[in-house]
Amino acid sequence: MSSWVTRLIALAALVLACAVGARAAWVWQANTYEKQLAVQADDYGKQLAEMDRVYGLEREEAAAAALNQLAEQQDAHRALEARLQDQTKTHWKEMNDAQQAQARLRDRLATADLRLSVMVDAGTFAAQGCDGGLREAASAGGMVHGALHAQLDSAHAQRIVAITDEGDRGLIALQACQAYVRAVTQ
């Protein structure tokens, strides 16, 4: 064989050996790289799973805190509603009592069981020279002994009682409103 065929065979064997070596190196490097990627992916997966778990715990804690706060607010709201309902009952009882008292007073005035009178200045009537049907009150329960009183007509007395009834109801309503505002703003 000639030397150039020998050289060609040697060159072919060398190229073949280089190709096989390169292929073996390529396969080895690919396996190593895949293993490294798998390890890194596994590490990233574990980190992501841990982050997801921590985030989930934080969300659960925040939700539990929000639910607790909501429950506290609902309890406070129920307590306020109960107080307001009690105040409303008290208000209506006071209003009903005042209306019943006014109705009794109107009935007593209508039946002449009770008469309203006003104190008058005796000097004014004496100066005019008339007594105008005035008489001295002889009641032991009166505040002013010996003062002159004029009895009011029943219709006038009932109008006065109606006015005081409206005033009493207005005062009771005002007190109820003030109690409501105090209860709501606490």
Domain assignment of residue 12, yes or no: yes
Confidence of residue 134 (pLDDT cuts 50, 70, 90): very low
The answer as to whether 43 is a domain residue is yes
Residue range(s) defining the domain that contains residue 59: 3-116+152-185
Task: Report the amino acid identity of residue 96.
Answer: N
- Tell me what percent of the residues of the chain surpass a pLDDT of 90: 32
Kindly indicate the confidence band of residue 138, based on its pLDDT and cuts at 50, 70 and 90: very low
Give the mean pLDDT of the chain. Answer: 83
127 in any annotated domain? no
Q: Is the pLDDT of residue 163 over 70?
A: yes
Report which of residues 43 and 56 the model is more confident about.
56
Mean per-residue pLDDT for 61-70?
95
Does residue 38 have a pLDDT over 90? no
Is residue 14 one of the residues assigned to a domain? yes
Report, as an integer, the average pLDDT of 117-129. Answer: 65
Confidence band of 140 (pLDDT split at 50, 70, 90) = very low
* 142 domain-assigned: no
Structure tokens at 107: 């009935």
**Would you say residue 151 has pLDDT above 80?**
no
Q: Tell me how far apart the alpha carbons of residues 157 and 118 are, in angstroms, rounded to a whole number.
A: 10
Residue 118: partners with Cβ closer than 8 Å, 6 or more residues away: 149, 150, 152
- Domain presence at residue 158: yes
Would you say residue 45 lies in a domain?
A: yes
| Domain annotation covers residue 90 | yes
Q: How many domains does the chain have?
A: 1
Mean pLDDT of 60-89: 94
